[in-house]
Amino acid sequence: MNRVHDETSEALLAAAHRLLAGEGPDALTVRRIATEAGMSTMNVYSRFGGKDGVIDELYVYGFNRLFDAIEQVPETDDALDDLRQVALAYRGFATEHPMYYEIMFGQASPSSQSIDRALAGLGNFVARIERASERDSITLPGDLDSTAAVAWLWGTCHGLVSLELDGIASEVVDWASIFASAIDVALAGLRPASTHGISN
C-alpha cells in the first residue's frame, strides 16, 4: 500500500525503533507504538495500515543498515580479504543489532515491495564478486555465477550468526572463532585458479 510519510509517521517510526531496541519485536503492538509516540492508535492504521506496515518499514531499515555496513568495506587488491571483511561486517551488524536482525529474518512477513526495497543493496555485493572474478582475483566454484556465490556466502554467514544469536551452545562454543574459521574455509574455495594445486 502507499503510505503517508509526514511528521506523524516519522514520530510513529521513531517510537517503533525505541520499542524494538528496548524491548524487542514483541513490544511492537499498535497500542504500544501509538502510546510511545503520544498518539492514538488510529494514526498507526492511517499511516501504516496497522502493525505489519510498521514492521515492514523496520525490515527495510534493517536491510539498508546491513548493506550500508557492507558497503563501508573498501575494495582493495586482495579480494579474498575484502570478502572476509564483508563477512565480519555482516556478523558485526547482526551482533550489534540483534533486534533488527530478528525482524529481518524471523518476525516480519514483508510485502513484495518491501522485499525489493530491502534487497536492492544485494546488487552491490553481486557486482563486487563479479569485478573480483573478472580480475581473476577469485575463481567461482563449480557452476556458480556471481549471484549464486553471494547466496552461498550469505547462507554461510547467516546460518552461523543465527545459531549465535539464538544462544545455541553458547556456554561451550566460541561462535566468533567458529565464524572466522568457517569464513576462511569458504573463501579458500574462491582462491584464484593459479593458486590451486600448488605444492612445495
Q: Residue 194 pLDDT > 70, yes or no? A: no
* Mean pLDDT confidence for 125-154: 90
Angle between helices 79-96 and 175-188 (to 10 degrees): 150
* pLDDT band with cut points at 50, 70 and 90 for residue 195: low
What is the reported pLDDT for 161? 96
pLDDT in tens, 7-44: 999 999 999 999 999 999 999 999 999 999 999 999 99
Instruction: Return mean pLDDT, the chain.
Output: 90
Quote the CA–CA distance of 150 and 59 in Å, as a whole number: 20
- Domains defined for the chain, CATH in brackets: 1-49 (1.10.10.60), 55-192 (1.10.357.10)
47 touches 12 (CB < 8 A): yes
| The three three-digit cell numbers of residue 141, written as one number | 566454484
- Fill in the DSSP letter of residue 49: S
What is the reported pLDDT for 114? 85
What is the reported pLDDT for 199? 43
